[in-house]
Amino acid sequence: MLGRVSFYILERIIIMVTGVATFSLLARFFGPSFLGELSIVQAISASTLFMVTLGLDKFVVKSLVEENDRAKSRVFFTAVILRFFGWCVYSVLLYCAVLKVDDNLALIALIEIVATLFLHVVIVQYVLEADGEAKKLAIATTVSRCAGLLYLGISIFLDWGFVVACCFLPLQSGVKLLYLIVHIVRSKKEKIKGVNFDYEWAKGNLKKAFPIMVSGAVFPLFIQADTLMIAYYYDSEEVGMYTAPMKIIFQISFVGVALMSAFFPFLVSEFNNKIRYERFLSVISRFFFLMSVVISIFVICLSGLFVDVLFGSQYESSKPVMMLLSIILIFLIPSKLYSALMILEGLAKFELLKAFVAVFMNVILNIVLIPKYSIQGAALASLISYFFADFLFYFISVRFKTISKYIKISLDGLLHPITTTKEFLSIKGGN
């Protein structure tokens, strides 16, 4: 299993490094104002993306793990059709919302719409994820990210302008999609048994995913409220000053996504074997939390250096923001595990409650803190909100005793870091 995990981690390292490189180039060569414009469009996009994903991500992977080849084809086709119609609605709303904010951002909105089509509609990556083909996913990510970074470098060198430079986003997602399609066609052509729309699967899983979809509508407001409210109170330059370090923090947090991409299929397959399931969760929960604390401390200590090296002297006011946001990693990285447990334990409907409470808290804190402390106030509001949403929330009700149990267990990993790491490295199972 750790062989597969290592490839997922490698994939996320590639995403993190290339993501940091691309945003560093954009920040350095175009300045905080242009970076702020892109961030505003992406914030609106994230707030409407639930219409495309429909909360189905983990349910699609779960079905692809459990079903036979014929049923897998139906699941894949059904999910793609559902997401395509959702993407059509998303595209119209995003474009209209962006025009309402600033019609100069219209072209950037179109670029984001195309990138979303490639990345979230034709979900071939879930097929490989369910089959544990982490190596192919890592290769696809490497090829696509390098292609996007190369294009961005050329566009900056030839002075093509900011909007044309932003086309690296659909380029890299399109290259990855093409690579994965070619691989699936070559390796699985003989297993494809037809492409029929499965109404029963769609009906059943949309119903189960509905709370996650609604929370997917609400929760991005929690994540993006600070960006949108900074844009409201100040301007795109202040947005750029804030989102530059925030984008780095989110890139780093993807290590949690990488680990859960590797472990979730195994958790699904072992769910009914309680002894093995609980032993496995005990090990990875402790390692998740230990890793998040170590990464957070490392980023806090080097936050000023990160800003200087990645963004330059014009982002001096981003340094205290970077330091505050670095603490969020303690809660953000292991949150991917807790969200997966909510699905496995049949508690997905409470993601909606968490989202509503988190959004309410974050909006109120931003209203109070941003006018008074500007982008530092937004960072403090985010820190408090993430502490509640991704940690404290699981202790407010006995319904979440399974998740709170593993959070308590994870705290033990801090007291025994060497033992925790050794146990994690000794994990066996899967491929």
**What pLDDT is stored for residue 195 in this prediction?**
64
pLDDT at 354 over 70: yes
Contact (Cβ atoms closer than 8 angstroms) between residue 260 and residue 285:
no
Overall pTM surpassing 0.95 (yes/no): no
**Within a domain: residue 430?**
no
**What pLDDT is stored for residue 343 in this prediction?**
80
pLDDT band per the 50, 70, 90 thresholds, residue 170: very high
Q: What is the largest CA-CA distance in the chain?
A: 63
Alpha carbons 370 and 357: distance in angstroms, whole number: 19
**What pLDDT is stored for residue 429 in this prediction?**
46
What percentage of residues in the chain have a pLDDT greater than 90? Answer: 33
pLDDT band per the 50, 70, 90 thresholds, residue 189: very low
Higher pLDDT, 114 or 28: 114
pLDDT band per the 50, 70, 90 thresholds, residue 115: very high
**Within a domain: residue 431?**
no
**What pLDDT is stored for residue 258 in this prediction?**
74
**What pLDDT is stored for residue 5 in this prediction?**
59
**What pLDDT is stored for residue 194 in this prediction?**
56
Contact (Cβ atoms closer than 8 angstroms) between residue 14 and residue 145:
yes
Alpha carbons 239 and 244: distance in angstroms, whole number: 8
**Within a domain: residue 202?**
yes
**What pLDDT is stored for residue 7 in this prediction?**
67
**Within a domain: residue 253?**
yes
Average predicted confidence (pLDDT) for the chain: 85
CA distances 310 to 21, 54, 216, 217, 315, Å, are 8, 35, 31, 32, 10
**Within a domain: residue 297?**
yes
pLDDT band per the 50, 70, 90 thresholds, residue 193: low
In this structure, the number of other CB atoms found within 10 A of the CB of residue 154 comes to 12
Higher pLDDT, 37 or 1: 37
Please state the rounded mean pLDDT for residues 125-139. 77
**What pLDDT is stored for residue 431 in this prediction?**
41
pLDDT digits 0-9 by tens, 264-298: 777 877 778 888 888 888 888 899 899 999 999 99
pLDDT digits 0-9 by tens, 55-104: 888 788 878 877 666 677 788 888 889 999 999 999 999 999 999 888 88
**What pLDDT is stored for residue 76 in this prediction?**
83
**What pLDDT is stored for residue 16 in this prediction?**
78
pLDDT digits 0-9 by tens, 217-256: 776 777 788 888 898 888 888 999 998 888 888 888 877 8
Number of domains in the chain: 1
**Most confident by average pLDDT, 4-13, 111-120, 279-288, 357-366:** 111-120
Please state the rounded mean pLDDT for residues 381-398. 90
In this structure, the number of other CB atoms found within 10 A of the CB of residue 106 comes to 14
Alpha carbons 378 and 373: distance in angstroms, whole number: 8
**Within a domain: residue 153?**
yes
Which residue range(s) make up the domain with 16? 2-425
**Within a domain: residue 340?**
yes
